[in-house]
Amino acid sequence: MKALILERYGKSNQLAFAHIPRPTIQPDEILVQVHAAGLNPIDYMIPKGTFKAILKFKLPATMGSDLAGIVLEVGSRVTRFKPGDSVYASIFDLGTGALAEYAAVPESAAALKPQKLDFVQAASIPMVGLTAWQAFKEHTSIKPGQKVFIPAGSGGIGTFAIQLAKYLGAKVATTTSTNNVGLVQQLGADEIIDYKKQAFEQVLHGYDVVLGTVRGDGVEKALQVLKPNARVVSLVGPPDAAFARNRGMHFFMRFLFGLISRKMIRQARKRGIEYAFMFVHPDGQQLSEISKLMDGGHIQPVVDQVFSFDQTLKALAYLESGHAKGKVVVQLI
């Protein structure tokens, strides 16, 4: 089968197409013919070695995290799926990849595709959907009437997270560029900061939750908009010692992450704020709940551009440019 492969880490492009054997599934896995694969920023960061200390890839490795497709085979212990089912999944951090004609997917990571979505739309959902779900359901407990700040509202995570937070009853603020104000308004954002004209930390006050999505000093500045006893959940770091413990890292990595997050945690505590670094994990049951929201019309997919499989490197470059509104998807079939 054809797959996009990472041979080695490096600053320049290290990805190339290759023909490799079709996966052989384990008893608890399903074999999926991939119709579409959604791209995420981590897909262009991994080849550069950005997450080398955290993610343990056995190189050469097939790239890609999110997929939607048709089940061709099921393992002997699989009970939730059968051949012919339309499914979607995030297989991020599971040692396999989605940018291939076929993928072995653990049953626990997959869910039936939302009936109202086609394969391209469905492939755009898993990682951003799970990220927002886990941030708002596991790391915080958003209640109706609370105020949530979601920077970069027109991006892949932002477009989903705004809609989920609104569904949960929150008031949502976001940042975006002038050209994307209309988009985030349609998604339900209540307060919109044009970052080219205003600094959000000078406008927003008294927020309960911040979803940290912007690298640099964005998370540090976001502390200023939170009220005491609020919570910041960061997707961009710095990673903390709790994260290292949860991943079973050795003492040195726990110490290192504790060291690099110390300043952020100290600043948060001074304001009575709880800081946590979050790394999304695959979860088919959560995707099933997300499917209900999609089919119920509560959340709409936002897809910017669709590329062919042969154009995957171009698609990754476009995503990395930072101009995408919503998600970028590779269509294989």
Q: What is the pLDDT of residue 294?
A: 98
Q: Is residue 258 part of a domain?
A: yes
Same domain, 261 and 140: yes
Q: Is residue 288 part of a domain?
A: no
Q: Is residue 66 part of a domain?
A: yes
Q: What is the pLDDT of residue 317?
A: 95
Q: Is residue 198 part of a domain?
A: yes
Which strands, in side-by-side order, build the sheet including 274-277?
Answer: 191-194, 171-176, 147-150, 207-212, 226-234, 274-277
124 near 293, Cβ under 8 Å? no
Residue 293 CB burial class (10 angstroms; 0-12, 13-18, ≥19): middle
Q: What is the pLDDT of residue 218?
A: 81
What does the H/E/C string look like for the chain? CEEEEECCCCCCCCEEEEECCCCCCCCCEEEEEEEEEEECHHHHHHHHCCCCCCCCCCCCEECCCEEEEEEEEECCCCCCCCCCCEEEEECCCCCCCCCECEEEEEHHHEEECCCCCCHHHHHCCHHHHHHHHHHHHHHCCCCCCCEEEECCCCCHHHHHHHHHHHHCCCEEEEEECHHHHHHHHHHCCCEEEECCCCCHHHCCCCEEEEEECCCCCHHHHHHHHEEEEEEEEECCCCCCHHHHHHCCCCHHHHHHHHHHCHHHHHHHHHCCCEEEECCCCCCHHHHHHHHHHHHCCCCCCCEEEEEEHHHHHHHHHHHHCCCCCCEEEEECC
Q: What is the pLDDT of residue 161?
A: 98
Same domain, 137 and 261: yes
Tens place of pLDDT per residue across the chain (333 aa)? 999 999 998 877 789 999 999 999 999 999 999 999 999 999 999 998 888 777 877 889 999 999 999 999 999 999 999 999 999 999 999 989 999 999 999 999 999 999 999 999 999 999 999 999 999 999 998 999 999 999 999 999 999 999 999 999 999 999 999 999 999 999 999 999 999 899 999 999 999 999 988 876 788 899 999 999 999 999 987 787 887 787 777 787 888 888 878 888 898 899 999 998 998 999 999 999 999 999 999 999 999 999 999 999 999 999 999 989 999 999 999
Same domain, 58 and 190: no
* CATH code where residue 217 lies: 3.40.50.720
The domain total for the chain is: 2
Same domain, 48 and 111: yes
Q: Among 277, 293, 323, where does a domain finish?
A: 277
Q: Which residues constitute the domain of residue 46?
A: 2-125+301-331
Same domain, 201 and 136: yes
Any bridge partners for residue 173, and if so which? 149, 191
Q: Is residue 104 part of a domain?
A: yes
Q: What is the pLDDT of residue 205?
A: 95
Same domain, 243 and 145: yes
Reported pTM:
0.94
Same domain, 65 and 179: no
Q: What is the pLDDT of residue 236?
A: 84
Q: Is residue 290 part of a domain?
A: no
Structure tokens at 254: 């726990």
Cis peptide bond prior to 47, omega within 30° of 0 = no
CA atoms of 156 and 134, how far apart (whole Å)? 16
Neighbours of 50 (CB within 10 A): 14
**Spatial CB neighbours of 46, under 8 Å, sequence gap ≥ 6:** 6, 55, 57, 63
Same domain, 10 and 110: yes
* CATH code where residue 10 lies: 3.90.180.10
Q: What is the pLDDT of residue 242?
A: 80
Q: Return the amino acid letter for 177.
A: S
| Dihedral sign from CA coordinates of 15, 96, 75, 124 | negative
38 near 66, Cβ under 8 Å? yes
Same domain, 147 and 246: yes
Same domain, 15 and 134: no
Q: Is residue 200 part of a domain?
A: yes
Query: How many CA within 13 A on the CB side of residue 156?
Result: 26
Same domain, 157 and 218: yes
Q: Is residue 306 part of a domain?
A: yes
Same domain, 271 and 135: yes
